[in-house]
Amino acid sequence: MSNSESHRHYHVVEQAINFIHRNFEHQPTLAEIAQSVHMSEHHLQRVFSEWAGISPKRFLQVVTKQAALDALKQTRNLMEASQSVGLSGTSRLHDLMVTCEAMTPGEIKKGGQGVSIQYGVVVTPFDEAVIAWTDRGICFLQFADNHEKNVIDELYRQWPNGTFKINSEQAQAYSDTIFSVEPDKKLARGKIHLVLKGTNFQVKVWEAMINTHSGQRLSYSQVAQLMGSPKASRAVGTALATNTIGYLIPCHRVIKSNGELGNYRWRPNRKAAILAWENATQNE
């Protein structure tokens, strides 16, 4: 399925996800989920499965609190295993799909002066987004929610002295690569490079998230442990909330220690959708 087809299905699936999230404690039936989006069971089953790679009932299992708690426990065990063999985190147990570099304080102070930034509005499986990049790598990726102008304005504010150019074709090519589930198009190690703009602490948090893997879930305290600051859980949450490179810096993988999804800059329903989509596609 192409990204454009996936994008069209996402709006229906998002409504179903919203219903599942509000009612997962009662374990709704497929008929109840279908009724909530005014579709037949067969039609919803087909659309949902084509979009997410899993059925609505399997998605329900993924988003239940117990499943989330089990995932957090698995992450803790993985961290303990990595530390037992002398590793500081889990990154060496899973190949990185993304590399990154931080801007220097001097570059940040200049506000993008002398930097050429290209951008475009793109179709993704999770609705439209704005993506931007410099000659060094991707510097911005935010879901738009029908407010593309506001997101583009934020991009301009982030790089107030930069030179901007629209490049819709290259932007969509980036999106097609980033969100592809086709084996021959999946990201290779180092395929996507990010340019991070933030404080030293923020960059450390974002790097810790980049070193996680698809389908993994972590609590705020686990992220703090991964970056070597076990008492910094609250500061970790603040750093994640300021992330402007969605999905590629996977802050969607951080949930509350009690198994609840918690907040997400681009809406909790999208967070749930991305987690389920990752869970369904990670082994393809």
Task: Count Cβ atoms below 10 Å from residue 73 Cβ, excluding itself.
Answer: 11
Residue 132, phi then psi, degrees to nearest 5: -140, 155
In the DSSP assignment, the letter for residue 109 is: H
- Determine the Cα–Cα distance for residues 128 and 4; give it in Å rounded to an integer: 10
Residue found under tokens 């932007």: 171
Task: Count Cβ atoms below 10 Å from residue 86 Cβ, excluding itself.
Answer: 7
- Determine the Cα–Cα distance for residues 182 and 176; give it in Å rounded to an integer: 10
| Residues annotated as part of the active site | 251
268: tokens are 């909790």
Give DSSP secondary structure letters for 182-247. SGGGSPPTTSEEEEE-S-HHHHHHHHHHHTS-TT--B-HHHHHHHTT-TT-HHHHHHHHHT--BTT
- Decide: 79 and 227 in contact? Cβ < 8 Å: no
- Determine the Cα–Cα distance for residues 144 and 60; give it in Å rounded to an integer: 26
Residue ranges with strand state E in the chain: 98-102, 116-124, 127-134, 137-143, 163-166, 192-196
- Determine the Cα–Cα distance for residues 121 and 167; give it in Å rounded to an integer: 9
* Residuewise pLDDT in 10s, the chain (284 residues): 555 666 677 888 888 888 887 787 778 899 999 999 999 999 999 988 888 777 888 877 766 666 666 767 776 665 554 443 333 444 433 333 688 899 988 888 999 899 999 999 998 888 899 999 999 999 999 999 889 999 999 999 999 999 999 999 999 999 988 887 554 445 554 578 999 999 999 999 999 898 887 778 889 998 998 888 888 999 999 999 999 999 999 999 998 888 788 889 998 888 888 887 887 765 44
pTM score, whole prediction: 0.78
- 3-state class of 92 per DSSP? helix
- 3-state class of 143 per DSSP? strand
